Structure 1
Amino acid sequence: MTASIQHRASRRQDSAAYTREAILAAASELFSSRGYTATTVNEVAAKARVAVATVYTSVGGKPTLLRALIERGVNEPRTTETLTAVASADDPREVIRLTAAGTRYSNEASREMVALMLSTANTVPEIAEAMREAVTAYRQALGAVAGRLDDLSALRGGLGVERATDMLWYFFGLHSWRQLVEDNGWSYEDAQSWLAECAGAALLTPEHAATKPPR
């Protein structure tokens, strides 16, 4: 392949990626402002300034659009960064603090998409499957946190990694953030601080729970 052909191929790939992002951005805005049911593919195309056929060929129909948005949230780079920091942290309280900060960021950044996912999962099979996959990935990440706490011998007596993962999901899962912020009107900052404090007290041995985390 000559340099000229490679350049043209690269430009086509860049253009396709740009078009896909424009479509997803339009879908995200419309789903959030008008609701999933009320939004049409025609409206997504108009907002993204592309042909309707381009929406289908670049991403797909409405369920695929929402699924792509959910998957983008699941694969957010901040999750990997948080898990990397957790894996190298030697203080159990810092592990809890990092988990609180990382899950807060993910839930706050994906606030509208999480609401859409939860509201459509019962009626759209494709979204129900995407939600199951998202929850599985979320719990796997929290399982890595529980594993790190276990490696540090910081889990309260009798707690294994599986039970600790369940408890981390209770404190830092999707519904915990939504109940505190959406239902009770807390700020994300207040929710983060309280959840970290409660998780530390519930999961860590007394001597570890009493240690102040580094900042």
Structure 2
Amino acid sequence: MIAEQNPRRVLELHAATQPGIHARAGPLYRVLIEAAAADPEVADVWNQLEAQRLTGMRRIAEQLKNVGGIRQELSVEEAADILWTVNSLAVYNLLVLQRAWSPERYRDWIASTNTRALLPGRRRPTPPNHRLSVHARRRD
């Protein structure tokens, strides 16, 4: 991803990593989150993990800025905050575990959401293909 010069492709490559990471690490992270509520040392571990994740998102935001891929009105920090939020375990839990989205749908949503939020150009959301057919049927 570091060598990639196309901002949209950077976000697609990153999005492709997220379902697998959350599926593998999510169970452990959920235990840490619950334990952190009762144990300050575990809370420190969780906070360190989240700080490291934010650092990773900041690197992606810096890469996007370096290739001219961040909207003018956004700072690198704001872009990192957006990436950190959209790519969070909490969002994965809501969409994949609670709403039963497939990993592929989640991946595509991350890429699309980050692209619209961060990159210059069209900001109006385009519905994913699976929804187009649903809307088309309603009009009949």
TM-score normalised by L of structure 2: 0.82
Instruction: State percent identity of aligned pairs.
Output: 25
Write the distance in 2 (CA, Å) between the matches of 1:189 and 1:120: 30
Whether the 8 Å CA contact 2:26–2:89 is kept in 1: the answer is no
TM-score normalised by L of structure 1: 0.54
Specify the code of the residue in structure 2 equivalent to 1:157: Q
Write the deviation string for residues 71-124 of structure 1: whole angstroms up to 9, x where unpaired. xxxxxxxxxxxxxxx211011111101111223221111121121112211012
Q: CA deviation at 1:187?
A: 1.8
Write the distance in 2 (CA, Å) between the matches of 1:182 and 1:123: 24
Q: Which has the higher contact order (CA 8 A, sep 6+)?
A: 2
SS at match of 1:110: helix
Write the distance in 1 (CA, Å) between the matches of 2:112 and 2:99: 18
* Residue 129, structure 1, aligned to residue 73, structure 2: no
Q: CA deviation at 1:172?
A: 0.7
RMSD (CA atoms): 1.3
Show the counterpart of 2:80.
Answer: 165
Show the counterpart of 1:143.
Answer: 58
Specify the code of the residue in structure 2 equivalent to 1:181: V
Specify the code of the residue in structure 2 equivalent to 1:118: I
Show the counterpart of 2:20.
Answer: 105
Whether the 8 Å CA contact 2:7–2:67 is kept in 1: the answer is yes
Give structure 2 stretches of 5+ with no counterpart. Answer: 123-140
Specify the code of the residue in structure 2 equivalent to 1:97: E
Specify the code of the residue in structure 1 equivalent to 2:48: E
Question: For 2:97, which of 182, 186, 192 is the aligned residue?
Answer: 182
Show the counterpart of 1:201.
Answer: 116
Q: CA deviation at 1:183?
A: 2.1
Write the distance in 1 (CA, Å) between the matches of 2:77 and 2:112: 21
* Runs of at least 4 residues off by over 4 Å: none
Give structure 1 stretches of 5+ with no counterpart. Answer: 1-85, 208-215
Structure label with greater radius of gyration: 1
Show the counterpart of 1:43.
Answer: none
